[in-house]
A and B are shown apart, each in its own frame.
Chain A
Amino acid sequence: MISFNKEELIKLASLSCLKLDSDEVEALVEQIKLVLNYAQKLDAVELSTESLPTRNVNVFREDEAKQFVSESILDQAPKKEDSYFVVPKIL
């Protein structure tokens, strides 16, 4: 059985840039624990030495400059100034 507790959940939420309401925490701990324990069924599998995970290969194309209208992208910005995205200060 996997032990997964409130402290771990809160740490995980912070790493995920998520914050949880206090009434969500208890239920989430239980639900995630349930799913992780189900996923742990894989512990019973003896890994085959014949069937190995596939290695992905990159598919490349020529690096050609193309026209692109950046206004329609910038129009989606929650906040912008001229042709820049504006975000709150970093520190």
Chain B
Amino acid sequence: MKSFLTIKQLKEKLEKKEVTISQVTDYYSNRIEKYNNKLNAVIETFDKETITHENNSSGLLNGIPGLLKDNICQENRITSCGSKILQNFKSAYDATVTKRIKQEGGIILGRTNMDEFAMGGTGEYSAYGDTCNPWNLNHVPGGSSSGSAAAVAAGLAPWALGSETGGSVRQPAAFCSLVGLYPTYGTHSRYGIVAFTSSTDQVGTLTKTVYDNALLASSLSGHDPKDSTSLFKETIDYTKNLTGKLPKNLTLGVLQDSIESEGVDEQIKDKFLEAVKQLEKLGAKIKYISLPDLKYGISVYFIISRAEAASNLARFDGSLYGMRAMDEKTLKDMYIQTRHDGFGIEVKRRILMGNYVLSSSHKGAFYDKADHVRAMIRAEFDQAFSEVDLLISPTTPTLPFKIGQTDQDPLAMYMADYFTVPNCITGKPALSVPCGFSKENLPIGFQFMGPRLSEELIYQVAYAYEQSTDHHTKNPAGFGE
């Protein structure tokens, strides 16, 4: 078998009986064993005998191996969330998305490394070591779905699930030349996903191609009564509109800020503008749109995400599960010592800030204000979507950082989410797609953002773009042919 097969190609091979499910599983397990030491993308691979999946010949993912981010629960397996505090925690049940993957015949090979509790944008905040970018091992793969992105980019699996709160799927997708989706809030169940910012957390899909991404997202869609924020929607087949053509009279809005701002890397601007031209060539009408409140997105996100994180992470105290500091004499001391020993610095930083903005003397100035500005950003998006069908911008303002580059400057890491945060805080879907490489051969991505439940349109347009370029056919060197 070749090294970088897509889900679509693998399905064809299985259908034609050129390979068996067992051979495909062994093939990818062997690849992980051979190449993971370069990347540290996969934390644990499961023994073949213990992998349970339904052999469902009509399943969307039948016999196709993949990986899950370490914050997605799998029954009787460890879900450590990239943290020491959960290093031995075994989930008592499958997350709904895990169950759906299994029902569709997908084979879960293991769990992937991540920034601790999904907090971080580089893959350097895991208790299990840094993950490297397969395109250049001295650079970060992005995060927090660092291992999922690095693994798929290196062909260790044809798909992986990540989770996104403010960019954690699309930013690593852009850094690793992958396709990554943040769905409309409420589309993918959060049941069994360790909570960080409950009002924006969603499971996202990481693949090499748009078709694969649409297929994987289709397998996760549909209402889940176990998640009270799950939308009452039937399962959707996102692949059915992938014709390679744009819909008639399509208008795309280019975010003016993204081409004018000094904060955006020149090489990223160039590649993005090439993509805009390409879309125009395919028949899209281009409009330039200014959304002035979008610049407050990061501030709103800082406040809301940290406030919710501080509340969500209060449950990790050593009482019921996970690690416990055993020598403490009182309950309070046990809580404090457990959290001290178990949490890394980025998690502590966010809890502290969250409790600051929620404290009675600051809540009005920070949390309440952020909540209001969030509504204003939502209204601004809605206004824009009455003028254009989709918005487009670079996915990230910067190229993948060098490992260690943002250690002393977390603000620089947070700013990488500049273009991915606004749609997350307003629950709107977006898809990052590769649009080329920098002079140093580092991947660059751009994104389509749409109104709520516009995934079908987003996939259709992204597919037509992708098929007219060759970025998705490139693979990093050093991981076989």
Contact = CB atoms under 8 A, between A and B. Distances in A.
Partners in one complex: yes
Interface residues of A, number: 49
Contacts of A45: 293, 296, 369, 373, 376
Interface string B324-348: 1010111111111101100101001
Contacts of A13: 352
A59 B228 contact: yes
B343 to A, nearest CB: 7
A51 interface: yes
A17 B81 CA distance: 20
Contacts of A43: 365
Nearest to A89: B330
A69 B410 CA distance: 43
A87 B319 contact: yes
A32 B349 contact: yes
B343 A18 contact: yes
Main secondary structure of the interface of A (DSSP, over half): loop
Contact of B310 (A16, A39, A59, A85): A16
Contacts of A16: 310, 351-352, 355
A48 B92 contact: no
Given A16-B355, A17-B339, A24-B345, A35 B92 contact: no
Interface string A78-91: 11000001011111
A32 B353 contact: yes
Contacts, number: 145
Contacts of B92: 69, 72-73, 76
Interface of A: 4, 9, 12-13, 15-20, 24, 27-28, 31-32, 34-36, 38-43, 45, 47-48, 50-54, 58-59, 61, 69, 72-73, 75-79, 85, 87-91
The 9 closest A-B pairs by CB, nearest first: A78-B324, A76-B321, A51-B379, A72-B92, A59-B228, A51-B375, A53-B371, A39-B302, A39-B299
Given A13-B352, A42-B370, A78-B324, 4 more contacts: A45-B296, A85-B320, A89-B329, A90-B330
21 contacts: A4-B356, A9-B352, A16-B310, A18-B348, A27-B408, A31-B349, A32-B353, A35-B410, A38-B298, A38-B299, A39-B303, A39-B366, A42-B370, A45-B293, A45-B369, A47-B372, A53-B372, A53-B374, A73-B320, A78-B324, A79-B324
